[in-house]
Amino acid sequence: MSVGSVILVGAGPGDPGLLTRKGLEALRQAEVVVFDRLVGPDILSLMPENAEKIDVGKQASNHPVPQYRINQILLEKALEGKRVVRLKGGDPFLFGRGGEELELLKENGISFEEVPGVTSALSVPAYAGIPVTHRDYCSSVHIITGHAKAGAELKIDFDALRRTNGTLVFLMGVTALPLICKGLLDAGMAGDMPAAVIERGTLPRQRKVVSTLEKLPQTAQEANIVSPAIIVVGRVCTLSDSFDWFDHLPLKGREIIVTRPAERNGSLCGKLSALGASVTAYPCIRTAERADNPELEGAIGKLNDYRWLVFTSPVGPGIFFKHLRKQHKDARALWNLKIAAIGPKTAAELEKFGVFADLVPETYDSDHLAQAMAHVEGPVLLCRASEGSDALPKLFMEKGIPFADVACYDTIYEAPNSDSVKELVQSGAIVTFTSASTVRGFVRSLPDTDFSKIVGCCIGRQTAAEAEKYGIPVRIAEKATMESLIACIKGVY
Ligand code: SAH
């Protein structure tokens, strides 16, 4: 068996957007990923599903795996012939023991690479509006650990640090914060030297305290600042208020649960995160194509009997055309049909198969689609979920328009990690609902839960009506688009 390799990858400080492209590529190719406590959940979710994942940040006893053992794990996995990624917070070579981990590999002739990461030492101050250097204030920056080796005393040459007149950045310094400040004051640094602590930097729950060297330990304690946090001492800290862009993002720190199916929640989650929200992807439904679908096949077999073909979600066209192809037919089989799509995304799916929709309602939901179809000539073929809204069938029955309601796919309700979501629901998060089925999936996943504290931001009146049935206070997006849903969320605050 051939010997594997190890890539040390810097995961950055937490914001998944700060993982480098090279790091992401290495992660995607990994067969084994050995990761630390400081690597955020969004980055962990990028690991390949079938990769072996080894968490060395904590064990059952809650103690981290000792360093010598981590070194051994990397060696063992490489000797098994695996492509190993060692994923570390920030940059692996900056207070990350990256060097120590490479020594054993080097001794054993294992090939390795290092992918630098965005270090917290520079990026966390940046997200707090602190440029670590500025020509008007300083000409150097110094990065110092506030953590002593086990059993040893904290040995920092405070006098030398003071003389640099540069910006001082302390990592791992929360516990030693009083000692650090006292050391600098004793070395003669002015008590009113601006200083800051930033906790959980670059993440939606980032918090910062800006004060003076003299008062920082007290202010940080009052604010209950905990690790991981970065301490910055220097005049550049005065810029923090005017340059703070991150705290001013419109959804900064807001908790938002996104219930869309996993394959379609990416762009919404990404857009909300970019606005500063703390986003929890909670895909409690998924769509499943039916393996056998005699009903759909039958309908396709006599397409000429219909006048209209209707798709109510972007999932429908792909399934329809797959079955059409099975019968060795193509878009020409639709020559005699008019086609309706519930919205532009569905219409765009149709276009992939060379078909333009004849009708897309102005507001993209079933009610408006029904209204727009009130005077069509039947029969109508509805190609949609087995549990679709009743707006269209109801209208067709009222108007005496013949129709067939054919299930293209089923909605499967499922609920991953509902414990953490339960806590968010109790403390009052925003939950996005893009269809009545997402409401049902959400509610079913959280039995015996009081939903009165959350706000359900919904697409479509029917979705909102479903949410209200379970006591969820709702807001309705003006239009059935992601942009409008985001505007609706912004409006809650
Ligand atoms: N190699 C890492 C540092 C590891 S030492 C890097 O380059 O960033 C761990 C320390 O990094 C923590 O104690 C804290 O001081 C700092 N740190 C890492 N991520 C942080 C974050 N998101 N917010 C604040 N401090 C962070």
CB 342 within 8 A of CB 313: yes
Token representation of residue 431: 């939950």
Indicate the pLDDT class of residue 152, thresholds 50, 70 and 90. confident
* Closest listed residue to residue 340, CA positions, set 299, 294, 378: 378
| Res 298 pLDDT > 80 | yes
Q: Tokens 């001794």 sit at which residue?
A: 107
Find the range with the poorest average confidence among 132-141, 261-270, 383-392.
261-270
Distance CA(389)–CA(439), nearest Å, equals: 13
- The total number of residues shown for the chain amounts to 493
Question: Is there a contact between 210 and 235 (Cβ–Cβ < 8 Å)?
Answer: no
What's the chain's Rg over C-alpha atoms? 28
Is residue 123 lining ligand 1, measured as CB closer than 6 Å? Answer: no
The span from the CA of 416 to the CA of 412, in Å, is: 13
pLDDT tops 60 at residue 132:
yes
For the Cβ of 389 lying below 6 angstroms from any atom of ligand 1, the answer is no
Tell how far the Cα of 142 is from the centroid of ligand 1, in angstroms.
15
Cβ burial of 65 (10 Å; 0-12, 13-18, 19+) is middle
474 phi, psi to nearest 5 deg: -125, 160
Regarding the beta carbon of 15 and ligand 1, being less than 6 Å apart is answered no
Q: What number is the average pLDDT over the span 332-337? A: 92
- Is the pLDDT score of 60 beyond 50? no
pLDDT value at 148 more than 80: no
Whether the per-residue pLDDT at 155 is higher than 60: the answer is yes
* Gap from CA of 295 to ligand 1 centroid (Å): 58
> pLDDT confidence of 116, banded at 50, 70, 90?
very high
Q: Where are the alpha helices (DSSP H) in 275-390?
A: 294-301, 315-326, 344-351, 366-372
Residue bearing the bigger pLDDT, 118 or 412: 118
User: In angstroms, how far is CA 340 from the centroid of its own chain?
Assistant: 33
Q: Is 60 helix (H, G, I), strand (E, B) or coil?
A: coil
Contact 244, 377 (CB under 8 A): no
Helices (H), 13-54: 21-29, 41-44
Q: Determine if ligand 1 sits within 6 Å of the CB of residue 94.
A: yes
CA of residue 228 relative to chain centroid, distance: 20
Instruction: Tell me what pLDDT residue 38 has.
Output: 82
Cβ(229) to ligand 1 under 6 A?
Answer: yes
Residue 354 has pLDDT above 80, yes or no: yes
CA of 200 to the centre of ligand 1 (A): 9
83 Cα to the center of ligand 1, angstroms: 26
Q: What is the mean pLDDT of the chain?
A: 91
- Answer yes or no: is the C-beta of 89 below 6 A from any ligand 1 atom: yes
In this prediction, residue 287 carries a pLDDT of: 85
Q: Which residue's alpha carbon is at the smallest distance from atom 2 of ligand 1?
A: 90
How deeply is 457 buried, as exposed, middle or buried, from its count of CB atoms within 10 A (0-12, 13-18, 19+)? buried
Give the nearest ligand 1 atom to 203 CA: 22
Q: What three-state secondary structure class fits 33?
A: strand
Q: Which residues are CB-neighbours of 73 under 8 A, at least 6 positions away? A: 34, 54, 56, 65
Q: What is the structure's pLDDT at 414? A: 80
**What pLDDT does 240 receive?**
96
* Residues ≥6 apart with Cβ < 8 Å to 21: none
| Helix ranges (DSSP H) in 237-343 | 240-243, 266-274, 294-301, 315-326
Q: How far is the CA of 172 from the centre of ligand 1 (A)?
A: 7
Contacts of 294 (CB under 8 A, 6+ apart): none
Q: How far is CA 376 from CA 244, 340, 366, 402, in A?
A: 56, 11, 15, 10
DSSP bridge pairs for 256: 279, 430
Cβ-based neighbours of 121, under 8 Å, separated by 6 or more: 90, 94, 132, 143, 169, 171, 230
Tell whether the model's pLDDT for residue 44 goes beyond 90.
no
Question: How many Å lie between the centroid of ligand 1 and the Cα of residue 74?
Answer: 22
Distances (CA, A) of 249 to 207, 253, 278, 491: 13, 9, 12, 14
CA 173, 176, 178: angle at the middle one, nearest 5? Answer: 120
Nearest residue (CA) to ligand 1, atom 18: 120
Q: What is the pTM of this model?
A: 0.79
List residues with catalytic annotation: 36, 58
Closest alpha carbon to 290 in 315, 312, 311, 262 = 315
| Count of other CB atoms within 10 angstroms of residue 340 | 25
Closest among 443, 401, 421, 410 to 289, alpha carbons compared: 410
Q: Is 95 in the pocket of ligand 1 (CB under 6 A)?
A: yes
Which tokens in the block code for residue 161?
Answer: 């640090």
Structure tokens that stand for 427 in this block = 């403390």
Helices marked H in 327-388: 344-351, 366-372
State whether the beta carbon of 228 lies less than 6 angstroms from ligand 1: yes
Distance from Cα 230 to the centre of ligand 1, integer Å: 7
Structural element, H or E, at residue 112:
strand 111-115
CA 371 to chain centre: 37
What is the average per-residue pLDDT within 425-431? Answer: 93
Q: What is the pLDDT of residue 339?
A: 96
Residue nearest to atom 13 of ligand 1 (CA): 172
Nearest residue (by CA) to ligand 1, atom 6, is 90
At 304, list the tokens.
């000429």
**Ligand 1 close to Cβ of residue 171 (< 6 A):** yes
> Could you tell me which of 410, 362, 401, 399 has the C-alpha nearest to residue 380?
401
Atom of ligand 1 nearest to the CA of 38: 19
Q: At what angle do helices 344-351 and 315-326 cross, to 10 degrees?
A: 30
Residue nearest to ligand 1 atom 24, measured at CA:
229
The answer to whether residue 151 scores a pLDDT higher than 80 is: no
- The finding on whether 36 has its CB within 6 A of some atom of ligand 1 is no
More confident residue, 426 or 150: 426
